[in-house]
Structure formats: C-alpha cells, structure tokens
Structure 1
Amino acid sequence: MRKIYLHKRFDSFDNMVSSNINSNPFMPSFGRIPPMVLDQRSVMDNYLLRLNLGDAKYQTSLVYGVRGSGKTVFLLNVQRNFEKEKKHYFVRLNLGQGNLLFQLLSNLQEISGTNWSEILKSVQEINILGNSISFQDAQNDVPINYSVVLQKLLTKFKARGISVLVGIDEIEVSDDIRSFASVYQTLIGQDLDISLIMTGLPSRIFELQHEKTLTFLLRSNRIYLKPLDKISIRENYASAFEKGGKKIDPLVLDRLVDSVRGYAYAFQTIGYYAWDQSEDYIDSSIADGALASAKSDLYQNAYEKLYTEVSDKDRELLDVIASAKKEKVPISFLLDKFDNRKNYLSVYRARLLDDQLIFVPERGYVSLALPFFADFIVWYKERHLLD
C-alpha cells in the first residue's frame, strides 16, 4: 500500500511572501506552478488519500476544465506531492513526442537504475519496431510486445515497493493513446502498482471516454476543476496586496474580484497586472490599466484558442449570446434568433454547457462563463472582418 502523508501540503503563500515581499505573487504564464493556487487543496488531498487507500476508482483519474482553469497546475502539484515520498515515482508523458508506450518504457528503465540485461536476464539487444520491441538472446530473435516488457518491469517494481503514477496533460483521442490505454488496461488487470491521471478539455474527456476501444475509462474517477470561489478570490487578493505593502480601495478590490468571474487564469492575470502596475496604492486608474492588460492576455493566450476550436454552430450560439449585451440572456431571445428551433438550440446549448463556456444563472437564462468573453467576440470578429 502506498504511503502518502497528507500533512505535507502545498507550500503556503505566507511563507512565499515573507521570503520575498517584493516579488509578484501572481503568475499568468501557462505550464508552471503559481505561488498562489486557489481552491485545489481539498481536491488534491482527497485524490491523494483515495490513491493511498488503493481505491480502484481513483487508480485512473481524469481532470477536466476549460482552458486556463488550472489543469496543468493541478497535474504539476500532483507530481510534486506524490514524489515527496520515497519509492513514489511520477512519469509524465508528452503526446507531442509520440509513442507513449516507449516514453513510459524509457522512464521506467531510468527509474529502475538498471540496464535491460539486468531487467530481462536473457536480453542482449533491444530493437524498437513500431509499437513492439524485439530482443535477441544468445540463440534466437524473440519478439516481445510492450505489455509483456512493462509487466515484467512493474512486477519487479511492486516487489521493491515502488509505486508509479503516470501523468498525461491535455489528452485527446489518437491511435497512440488507444495503444497506450490498451496496454495500461492490461497492466492494471495484473494488479500492478501503476496509476494514471490525465487532464483535458471537457469535450476531449467526453470523446476519450466514449471512444469504442476506451470505454473502460467511463469507470474512472473524474475531477472537475470548478470556478474559483468569490470569497476565496477576495481574501487572497486582499492578503497578497496587504503583505506586499500595497493598499487598495475596497471598491477597487470588489471590481477586480468581480472581473475574475471564477476563472483561474483571469485571477492570476488580473492580480499580476494590478501588482505590477502599482507602487503602494491600487486605485481605479491602476485597475483600469490592469484590466486592459489582462484582457489583452486573455484574448490572445486563451480565448482565441477556445473560440476557434469549437464548431461553427457552437460559435454561432456564442455570437448570439454575446450580441444580447446582457449579463443574463433569456432563452426566449435565443429562440427568436434561431426561429424557435428548440431541438437545435438544445443540442448546442448542452455542448457549450459541457465545454464550460456558458452556464445557467437561473431557470430560463444563460450567461457566458468567462470574463470579458462577449467583448472578446466583438474584438475577434472585428479583427478578422467577420459579419
């Protein structure tokens, strides 16, 4: 059984600030762990606890959320916390590098600290052939597939008390992931100490789970990175600015908090510019500049990708919602724009809800989920000369 000591939590923000009070505590860049991470701790603790208890459902977990919701940060924090204990190894695989099985095999060989002749006593030479491996012994060429090699290696790991957690970020369906998942399913069926955590956009996770060769993933644990809590946003902004020696007008603070709309990337970006563009006081003019800079980052670093990767019909519905120029858009308004095609509207409304690009603030209404997204749509259409 794994031993993960849950009292070892994330490094506290208090410690970070005291070590360098002048450092900007906000990090809007992707792919790194910001000094301030909101609303992930309880989810992290529960995940690690269940993994530690050997809960079969948590052996395979899927983390999903809109782009910029903190999926990569969550994965990096999983790695950092998992590897705090001896004989706990996190193996991160990269879809862009191809051949996930060979990546896994290479990482496990490195972890073992041995060469192949020690792992497989008869092995003299290994040749990579597509999704298989062949090795030569003293007398014969004997083909062997990844499943067999990985099973032998992980069996040795289990005997040594070694736990392996594999992580894949921004997953999508491909032949490579199908091959990997097939072998992984075989390995967990052998009761080997290997677990898997993958992150992805909601639509990609849905496609993955409903791929006909990957339906076993329907039984996996799903971790939804929900929008940040407004109270938590306010408390963390106030604490960060206070400890950084920056006073902020209460009404300006409320404006920054409201502008975040629960979006993790916006929290980091708005906080970063409010800090960076101020000296010792954050007033309304500082907020104006910070929000303008944050909007530019949101548009180019997140929203353009989000908007262009949904279907034309999804974009059509987003455009109509934005055209209403209202915080809450009545369904009746949408029906009127779509000639009362209720079934048509229901399909694409459901898709955008799943993608977390809209939400239902109350019965009979919808709203855009992300801050400044209606402004972005206008900006994008003007930039690309769209009607």
Structure 2
Amino acid sequence: TLGIGLGALHSVFSQLTTMALRHLWRRPVRTGLTTLGTSFSVGLLVTALFSFDSIDYMIDQIFFQTAREDAAVTFAGDRHPDALRALADIEGVMRAEPFRQTPVTLTNRHVELRMVIEGLPRQTQLSRVLDVDAEPIVLPSSGLLLSERVADKLGLRVGDAVEVDFLSRENLTVSVPVAAVVQSYVGLTGYMNIAALDRLMREGARVSGARIKIDPDRLDDVYDAVKQTPGIASIALLRLSREQFRATIEQNVVISIVVYSVLAVIITFGVIYNSARIQLSERARELASLRVFGFTRAEVSSVLLVELGVVVALAQPLGWLIGYGFAWSVARGFESDLFRIPLVVDQATFATASLVVIAAGLFSALIVRRRIDRFDLIEVLKTRE
C-alpha cells in the first residue's frame, strides 16, 4: 500500500514535492504532533476573537431586537394608567408603552429564586420578548414566560406550575403555569401579560413606568419635561446604556484577546521553527547534495517549505474545531445570574485566526530559508550522518 501511495505521488507531483511529502508520510507521529501543536494556535485565536462576534450579537439582540425604545421612564412607585397618558402627552414623545415590575420569589419544589417579573402589553413594539429562536412572540393572556437561565435553575419546562410569592404583597402566593421559555442574555427575567399580572396582584391596573419613542429633534425638550415631573423617578436613555454596556464588556475582553493572540503567535512560531530546524539538521546532507546536483536554492528550499506548508494547511480545520470547542467552554464558563454570552463564531473569525497563524508560520519558514541559502556545502557534506 505504501508503494502504491508513493507511486501515485510521483505521477501527480514533481520530484522535489514528492520527496517532501514522502518525508511527512514516513514520520506520521512527528507530522501529527506538529500539526496538532499548530492547530492549537488556531484554536486559541478563534477562542479570543469569537468574543467580538458574541458581543455584537448580544448588543443587537438586547438593544435593537428586544429594547427598541429611545428611553425608559420609571415612576416613583406604581401608578394608575393615567400616568402613562400624561407621559404620552409630553411634546416630543411619539409613543409610550407601559410596563409593570414587581419583585417575587419563584419556588419549584426545594429550589427558590428571587427575581423581578415584568408585565408588558400583549403586543409591543418598543420592548419585545424573543423566543429561543430570537423571534418576537405575542404574550399569552395568562401564564409566565421565563428566561432560559431561570428555567434551568428552577428545573422548569413549558406546562409546569411554579409558585410565585409576591414580595410587595404580604401573604400573596399563587401557582402560575409556565407558558414559554424565552431568550435573555442579561439578568434573571420573567414576563407576563400586564393584565394577567394585575389580576394576580389584586390591586387593579398599575404601571411602574413606560418605554418611550422620542422625536430626535425634541430630545432635550422631553428630557427637561421629564425632569420637572415630580412623579417620575428616573429616565434611562438607551443610547447611553448601550455605550456603557459595550465599554464594560470590551474592557474585560480586550485584555484576554491580546494575551491569547500573543500566545498563539508564540506557539506557532515555536512549533514551526523548531520543527523546521530539526528537519534541517536531519536532512542537511540531503539538501546540500541537491545543490551539488544542480538544483537552485529556491528548489532546495521548497522541499522543506512544502513540508511546513502541508502541516500548516492540515492544522487549519483541526484548529477551527478546537477553537469552537474552547469558545463553547468559555461561553459556558462565563454564564452567571448577571449575564450570559451566546456562542456566536462568524466565518470571518475562522479566516482571521488562520491568516495570523499562516503569517507566523511563513515568517518562521523564511528564517529557515535563509539558513538553507547560507549552507556551506563542503562543510555540510563532510559531516558524518
């Protein structure tokens, strides 16, 4: 089988290329270990760079697909829905959608979780609830919608009942079915139809605040009017929240990306350069003999460079798989009650990781190429095997 394989190489590749491939074929362990070492460099870079893909996806989902308002206004305590109409009457406010937030303790068997349930209108445009496939859903007339993190912590699935203890109402505990599991990357969240939440709390219709769409030309006027309204406790501009979120996340991510990138380049250079030096020391007489037989420096160097090129090429797909596995473990490791990172790896990330490793490998190969060009043929040929 080996003879047939080598014969096929002779019929397809040049003599020097066949010589390089045959050397790799006859040392499978060394070739495999060198390929594995190089693939870990690709994997480290994928692990570092995927953070940008995930952050961009999080920002899009949180600030563009879910929260689509310009600002969120919070009242000083729950108010009658008339407060929403007063807010909507402010000049410059184009749309206002209410929300009601109440602290609760969710209990399923022996597991308890303290969080906030948010009541929203059945159909909203400014604050949407997304399912696990990132598609907007209409809030059902009854039942509780829980984020994936909450459902996992409580061991709940759609159709299960969960005990809800309303902390703002003494001795008010009800059993509510789980209507759906939804997407959420920040905090522990639960949603209900605001009318259903009002019925459960037995206080009548109340609103905690509103999300508003503002005429860009009247932003300052709206801001001044809100500050002068005594019933409003705070206003949060979505643009500022988005900028602060990105800055906070990227500040922590950039450091790890720099560390991973430096490690990847060092590993690539070390693995490729040391492998080339070992092969050069073992095959110095062979390569020098080719020079004596009339082959040019470029042709002689190609024997070694082809071997390195094959190893680097084989390392790319393996490195992508390793990097995706590392990225998955990093995303799972960062999961907490505050936020979780989605596993998103774009094709550009794989390409960038490969280009960096290929560039580092090429730099290592060029250094070895210079050593081949400076061969003292007489001295090398005098050296005993």
Which has the larger Rg? 2
Q: Which structure shows the bigger proportion of residues in strand conformation?
A: 2
State the TM-score, normalized to the length of structure 2: 0.22
Pick 1 or 2: higher relative contact order, CA cutoff 8 A, min separation 6: 2
Q: Which structure shows the bigger proportion of residues in helix conformation?
A: 2
